[in-house]
Structures are given as structure tokens and as C-alpha cells.
Amino acid sequence: MREADRFHPWLLLPALEDLAHLGARLLPEGTAGADAPGRVAYRELAGPGRLRIRASAADGRMLEAAVLKGASERLGRAVTRLSDLGEDNFLCLPPEEQYLVATGRTYFRGLAFDDLHRLQFDLETTGLNAARDAIFLVSVRDNRGLERVLDVSESGRSGAEAEADLIQRLAALIREVDPDVIENHNLYGFDLPFLAKRAELLGVPLALGRIGGAGLKRRPAARAYGAWRSATGVGGERSERSEDEGEEREETGRYVIAGRELIDTLDAVRRYDFAARNLPGHGLKAVARHFGLAAADREYVEGPKIYATWRGDPDRVRRYALDDVREVDGLARLLGGAAFALARMAPRRYERLADAGPATGILDPLLVRAYLRAGAALPEKATGDGTRHTGAALYLFACGVARRVVKADVSSLYPSLMRQYRISPRPDRIGALLALVDRLVEQRLAAKARAKQAAPGSPERHTDEALSAAMKILVNSAYGYLGAVGLTRFSDVAAANEVTRRGRQVLGLLCRELAARGATLLEADTDGVYFAAPAEWSEGDERRAVAEGGALLPPLVRLEFEGRYAAMLSHEPKNYALLEYDGTPHLRGVAFRSVRFEPFGEAFLRRAVGCLLTGDVPGVRAAYLETLAALRRRELPTSDLSSRVRLTKTPQQYEAARTARKELPYEAMLNSGYTRWGRGERVRVYRASDRATGGRAMLLPEDGAGEPAGDPRDYDVAYYARVLLDNYAARLARAFAPDDFAVIFGSPEQPSLFAPPIETIQPVLTTVAEPPDEAMD
């Protein structure tokens, strides 16, 4: 269905002055003929805000030209763009937002997620560099039953011609299918820029739009997105000789296709993980597996092997590529509902709400709309008064091993505090932000309740869960909005600080009350606390303590019993290991999991922590001794001691920096006889033994797919033995008395005569701080 509508473009100004030159063609809104062509209608907005005139006309260009003419006369210089006026002197939204704000409409009212016609496509290429590598296959599907693979083998041509033909067939298919939405994982970061670059190089028009021959256009986006995209060469080859000045400007653009919404599931994944922080990574495969979206017979091909696989077994790549778009669809359905629901609430395009930061991207348009609806003048963007932002509370009360651990936390602490204490940014004199938070919280509770009633898996449930997720995003970003000085219209650091101050008080009160009920406090952070229950407590006692503590908090602050665990190793704030009652271990924080861990150390740590938390101290000792022995006998493959790193400096750059700072990966390259390497290259490095210097950085060769090739076993045993002790065993130091630690991780050759037998050693828990006493006011 298509609907045509007309509206009068509008903008906001501080005064009528710049429009006065229109004379009789400038009329108050509502007077006869004010909305006729060639006229400008205006309305005064109430209150003290700076932007107090809303001007509109049948023709937006004419309106803008009139403002520019008046401003030029007033300032005595040529003003050619509204932005020359400075951001405090006008507000002019993109046309579609003007329309949405003016009419009160939004995207997708009355539609369910599945009503959209969504298409997913995924490029398979010979490599990551669009300047050099080519597209050889595209998988396409939609949510109406289409599944198709296009590839270069079908056209009977080869090389550039075949690729150009493939791109044209893709564009034709998209026009034919005519989807509302195009989705993929890392769509903006890879597929669109790659496609645009290849089409440009091959001279193929990319007519993907709904209207006429509209193509793929850049949209500026200030967000961090593009910043880390450049190393790939996508969207602009990066000079290898970049020691010469003027590093190419990073392409930070998003893309637009007229009439369609472009949705990147990577954005949805990031938004989800921002709060959940439980994803193993943000890649499509990892996320799909995490959510159980991967089919049992899912085809996997490692990235670097895809093109080689294509040449030997093309059907396998076809299956792989189709599995990719299927998973994208699943992911979009699972996580994309939040952006869809946001699009039904905020006056902004769906695709922009999907990638927007919540403060400037979502709350700001809602607030602008609220002010205009209220007929209130809009204040200029708030500037900070230099007030420092104060943060949340973080406490480590005890470290070591605790049993019967409980986690309690406050859901949505900050918005609850804003509501409880009516904390509102000062410039927001009509209280729009707080009203929004109030309304969203209530609607969210209603949506959650509805979702619970609806049948699992039903569209209704999906809609309500997505709505709830969207509102959670919004509500939680209200606090962030307060602190975003210089970015948002209504920021107010003092108000943000009041929120955190109340938060610290609430957390402190909670800790004191739990301690008073017999709990041993372990760690508290912002809105939650871990504590250990006394041995005689039942689960009911644990829940009662949490309920009693929660009852003493302010009414709108709701404490929840989040979970209970058999044991916890508390190491440092935000660094701990938990053992669930079913035996599942969880390692959290940098001290326990890091990409840079050598495989041997990670394996040791996992095993040792597992033993520790189940009370098996001899098992910890055994893990250490066995790892050490395997190391000394060189039974561990070299790759277990290596780590994979990416070279980001050219040989010239490293040479220049080398005297100031030596870096292992580059030293490994040099020691292995390489004086040339490419930027972005990945290598595997380790430390080999060396009689003269004791150790030298070395390269572990890899095959084409990044698998280690060769296993020289010449690693520096003494060095890695030290790493095992200092880097890995040390994470368990807090679990034992120093003497006991020395026994458990003592040298196998020199057992101490006076040491207690391992079996008698018990883990310890050491109190390091008392509950804070900042009182409530």
C-alpha cells in the first residue's frame, strides 16, 4: 500500500526578524491565506526558550531561502546555509522528521514486525579489501519465502564482467522483490561499502531504490561506527605508506536507499549486549549460536577459507551463505523488535532509530516533539558549567572464596531514582523528560504483563517483549541524557550527579541492612550486591533477607533477588568467578578471561578455579603441577603458548617508534627475518628460548586459514613457567593464606618440610572493607 501526503516544512528560529523582509507575505499561522504558496506562516511558542518562532511554508526551499536572505541582511555577510547561523539559532530537522513531528505520526503504527517485507542479503567475496577483492556470490532471502543464491558462475562470463553482471542481477532482484527493509549483519560496515566500491570500480549503476533509479547514497553519521572500519580498505583504500602525512580521511558514513530502511543486525546486537553483557562476541555465528538460532546442520566455513572452498566445493559455500541470511533473519526478529517498537514511538526513521545512541538519537526527538506539542519554546543546547560528573559506587568488601552466594539488584535504579525524587534537568521547564520516563515505565510494566499473558512464540508476545525492551533502553538512557553535556538540549550535570548521589545512598543502605541481617558482604556495584549467606540459612531465608532489605528502600526503588550460587571467588571489583548450584562455572572480568590469554594458561585457570570452587584444593595443586610438567617436558604444542595479534604498524612506523618502545609482535617479525609486512596482517607470536638473551620473540608460522603450521617446541620454558605462576596462578592468590598459597604453587622439586599437607588447606575469605555509612537524606 502506498499513500501520498503533503505537509508544510517548518523550522524554528529565535525571532521573526530574519523573516520581516517578507512583508505582507509573512502571516500568523491560521490567518486566511497564510498557508498559500509563496507565504510564510509563523507561530510564537510560549515561555522563555530561545527558539520561540515556528515558521512554515508550502515550499521548504523557499522558507530556507527567506531565512538566509534575512540573516544575510542582518549580519551584513552572505549566509548560504542554515548551519552558518550556529546551532543555537535555528532548528531544522530532516524532512521526514518534520513531517512526523508536525503530524504526530510515526513509522509502523498498527503494524506488527512481521508485516514488514524484510529482505536479507549477504556478499561472499574473495577478501576484505574492496579495492582489490571481488564479490563472487550473494545469498538473498526474504520473509515471504524467497531464498536464492546468485553467483558469478551463472553468467558464462568471467572476471570483472561476471562480477558486474552479478551486481546488476542483485540490484534487479532487490527491485523486483521490492522490500521495505534490507537487513544484514555488519551491513553498514561491510556489505554496503563493499558493494558501493565494487559498483563504482566496475562502472555498474546501483539502482536499489524504490523511486526512479535512485541509488545507494552516503549518509553522514558521527557515531563511532566507521572509525574502526578503515583498516579493511573498505570504503577507501588506506595508504600503505602512511608515514607521509594526511592519513586518508576515515569514511564514517552510513548509507541510504530511497524508500527502504537499512537495518544492521550488528547494531541490534550491540544495543542488546550493552545491557546484557553476556555475548561471547558480536559476530553473526557466535550470536546465532548463543541464542540457539543456528540450525543443527548449519554449514560453517572460516572467513579466510571461503573463496578457496568456493573453487573446490561451490555448493558448500552456497549452503553457508544461505545459512548466513537465515541467521540474520532470526537475529533481526529476535533483537530487532526493539528498534521496530521505538520507530512506533519516536518521530524518526526506523533505520536511524536502529543505530542511534539513545540520548541524542531517540530522547532528543521525543523531547522536541513534546515541546512543540505543548506549544513551548525550545531552549538552546545546554552547555556545561564545568561541574564534574560524579559516578556510581563500587565496593569490594571481601576477597577470597565464599559459599552460598546471593546476588540482589535494583532493576532500573537510575530512572527509578529520577522518578522517586523528581530529578529533572533544569532547562526542561515543562518537565518533558520526567513525564516521558513516568509514562514509559508504566507502559513498560503493562507491556511486560501482556507479554506474560500471550502464548510463547506468538506475534503478540514478540511485539510486547520488543516494546518492553525498547522502553527499557529509553528509560535507562534518560540518566545518560542528563550527563551528555554539549550533546543534548537538556543536559544537566548537577541533576545527573544528584541521581548518582541518591544511588550511592541506596546501595549503601542496602549493604548495611543486609549486613545487619547476618549477610557477609562481598561486592557491590552501582545497583547490585553480592553477599554470602550464613551456613544455616535456607534459600527462603536468603529471599527473606533480600525482601526485608528491599522494603527499606524508597518505594519506587525495587530490589530483586537475582540469583544464588554455590560459591564465588572474589578477586577484585568486577573480577570474580561464580559456581552455580548445578556446577556451571562463570568467570567474569579481565582477570579471568581475556583474548590475550595463551591457551595453556586459560585452560589451567579454568581447571584450577573449578577445583577451587568445589573445595578440591589438591585438585588445584594437581592442575598446577601437571601444567608445569607438560610445559617442562615440552608436551604442550607451541600454539598453546602463542597469541594471535594484528600488525597495525608498517615496518617504517615501527622502526620509528622502536627505540621508544619495543613491541613483541614486531620484534617477532624482525627476529624471524621479515623486514616487510602489510598493515592489518595477523600473525601468531610466542617467546622462544635463546641461550644468549634468555628469550626472543618469534613468529609461529600459519597456514592460509590462520591455523598454526609447524610446532618447533622451542618455547622459553622458564618464561612460560613464570607466566603460569605470575599471570594465572596469581588469580587465585586471594583464595588462600600466603603460606598455603606458597605450598599449593610451590616448586615440585623443593617441598617444604614444614608445610601442612595439602588436604588440610582451606580457602579463605578476607574482609577488606566495611559497609559505607553515607546516610539517606
Binding site for DNA (CB under 7 A): 81, 83, 87, 94, 122-125, 127-128, 185-186, 189-190, 220, 222, 224, 227-229, 231-232, 234, 266, 281-285, 303-304, 306-307, 324, 357, 360, 486-487, 589-590, 594-597, 643, 645-649, 660-664
Contact 29, 43 (CB under 8 A): yes
- Residue 121's DSSP bridge partners are 140
Choose between 38 and 281: whose C-beta lies nearer to DNA: 281
In 421-458, which residue ranges form alpha helices assigned H by DSSP?
432-453
Choose between 155 and 309: whose C-beta lies nearer to DNA: 309
Choose between 373 and 662: whose C-beta lies nearer to DNA: 662
Q: Strand, coil or helix: what is 162?
A: helix
Find the shortest distance in angstroms from Cβ 283 to DNA.
3
Contact 515, 521 (CB under 8 A): yes
Q: How far is Cα 352 from Cα 271, in angstroms, rounded to an integer? A: 13
Find the shortest distance in angstroms from Cβ 525 to DNA.
12
Q: Using alpha carbons, list the distances in angstroms from residue 38 to 8, 21, 22.
A: 12, 13, 10
Choose between 109 and 661: whose C-beta lies nearer to DNA: 661
Find the shortest distance in angstroms from Cβ 226 to DNA.
8
In 3D space, the residue among 289, 280, 277, 296 whose CA is nearest the CA of residue 334 turns out to be 289
Choose between 380 and 541: whose C-beta lies nearer to DNA: 380
Q: How far is Cα 208 from Cα 218, in angstroms, rounded to an integer? A: 13
Buried b (16+ CB within 10 A) or exposed e, 139-170: bbbbbeeeebbbbbeebeeeeeebbbbbbbbb
Find the shortest distance in angstroms from Cβ 175 to DNA.
23
Choose between 2 and 661: whose C-beta lies nearer to DNA: 661
Q: How far is Cα 96 from Cα 49, in angstroms, rounded to an integer? A: 24
Find the shortest distance in angstroms from Cβ 172 to DNA.
22
Q: What is the CA radius of gyration of the chain?
A: 31
Contact 10, 56 (CB under 8 A): yes
Contact 631, 717 (CB under 8 A): yes
Find the shortest distance in angstroms from Cβ 81 to DNA.
6
Query: What is the distance between the terminal CA atoms of the chain, rounded to a whole angstrom?
Result: 58
Find the shortest distance in angstroms from Cβ 590 to DNA.
4
- Residue 69's DSSP bridge partners are none
Find the shortest distance in angstroms from Cβ 25 to DNA.
26
Find the shortest distance in angstroms from Cβ 592 to DNA.
10
- Residue 264's DSSP bridge partners are 184
Q: How far is Cα 623 from Cα 637, in angstroms, rounded to an integer? A: 18
Choose between 98 and 520: whose C-beta lies nearer to DNA: 98
Choose between 590 and 742: whose C-beta lies nearer to DNA: 590
Find the shortest distance in angstroms from Cβ 443 to DNA.
26
Contact 656, 730 (CB under 8 A): no
Choose between 597 and 741: whose C-beta lies nearer to DNA: 597
Choose between 303 and 712: whose C-beta lies nearer to DNA: 303
The single-letter DSSP state of residue 549 is H
